[in-house]
A = this chain, B = another copy of it.
Amino acid sequence: MRIKFIMLLLCVFANTSFAQDAKEKYVLVIHGGAGTILKKNMSAEKEAAYRAALTLALQTGYKTLTSGKTSLDAVEATIHILEDSPLFNAGKGAVFTHDGRNEMDASVMDGKTLMAGAVAGVTTIKNPISAARAVMEKSEHVMMVGQGAEVFAKQSGLTIVNPKYFYTKERWDGLQQAIKEDSIKTVLDHGNKKTKLGTINRDYKFGTVGAVALDKSGNLAAGTSTGGMTNKKYGRVGDSPIIGAGTYANNATAGISCTGWGEFYIRNVVAHDISAMMEYKNLSVADAAKAVLDKVGKMGGDGGLIALDKLGNVTMPFNTEGMYRGTVTADGKIEVQIYK
């Protein structure tokens, strides 16, 4: 009887161990924004272009990781691809502010050291994610905004471009459309006396990009980069450059990057809340991410997020129609998804 019991225990342990070994371990997860992304509104060519860009980003990050570089290197290299593509609202392809400028925000965090860096409202830095990393590694600060951040980026040797570099016809047309719609909306709202300064059009707030990586040493890193909201005014800053809201990484829990209606993500301190639920309530990364996104949804906010835990478990929840997203596992298998 006692031997039988010990045998049974051994079997249980063996099975558990086997199950963990066989489980897919994700090493990189990315997003290219959540929003009203519907198959019926998407041409085959456009969908193919998005899939190609997301795949290239994942391949680049994977190559970085397999060459022995860090999760931080992988996050930066991956986001460069998304920033350099005109398809996403970050870097080249950033949306325009009300004044016709491209003002970008980005942040990055290292899960091993809890070091972090962020820039907000920058207009001349080709790759804002690299500026965020420079703030983290080459200064004793965490956040720099506006012209000061640009001076710092230049002194750090980053590529500075003419603001015209960020122009794309699609985004410019988007601004003209937004201005037109907002002026109609303002007239209607004034009738109801409900207009606030800085009213948000639900459709103009999406397209942020982000990446979370886990390297061979077991270190997590997360990064987020965005052009913000089409037609934004008053130097509005969303959650992307806010450590704890749009980006967070901690080797003890997970790396997280968010995309969506930034105001709700700041108020819910989304990225850190996921980490806190994992650390203090022992929730899995998927359960914690779901619980926090539910809070955002209950308040009336929408969007999505990607999260990767220290064991390589991934979750990519969103409460919008779609979210550009993709993963690559340790064996190099790439998956890209767009719709629900």
Q: Which A residues fall within an 8 A CB radius of B?
A: 109, 114-116, 120-121, 135, 138-149, 151-152, 155-156, 196-200, 233-238, 242-245, 248, 262-263, 266-269, 272-273, 276-277, 280-281, 299
| Shortest beta-carbon distance from A143 to chain B in Å | 4
Give A271 to B140 CA distance when docked, in angstroms. 21
Q: Which residue of B lies closest to A120 (CB)?
A: B145
Give A280 to B292 CA distance when docked, in angstroms. 13
Residues of chain B within 8 A (CB-CB) of A233 are 148, 152
- A145-B146, A148-B234, A269-B244 known; A138+B196 contact, CB < 8 A: yes
| Shortest beta-carbon distance from A208 to chain B in Å | 15
Residues of chain B within 8 A (CB-CB) of A196 are 138-140
Q: Identify 15 residue pairs between A and B in the complex whose beta-carbon atoms are under 8 Å apart, listed by A's number.
A: A121-B145, A135-B198, A139-B198, A141-B236, A142-B262, A143-B236, A143-B266, A145-B235, A149-B235, A152-B198, A152-B235, A156-B197, A244-B244, A269-B269, A272-B273
Give A198 to B135 CA distance when docked, in angstroms. 9
Give A156 to B197 CA distance when docked, in angstroms. 8
| Shortest beta-carbon distance from A117 to chain B in Å | 10
| Shortest beta-carbon distance from A205 to chain B in Å | 10
Give A237 to B149 CA distance when docked, in angstroms. 10
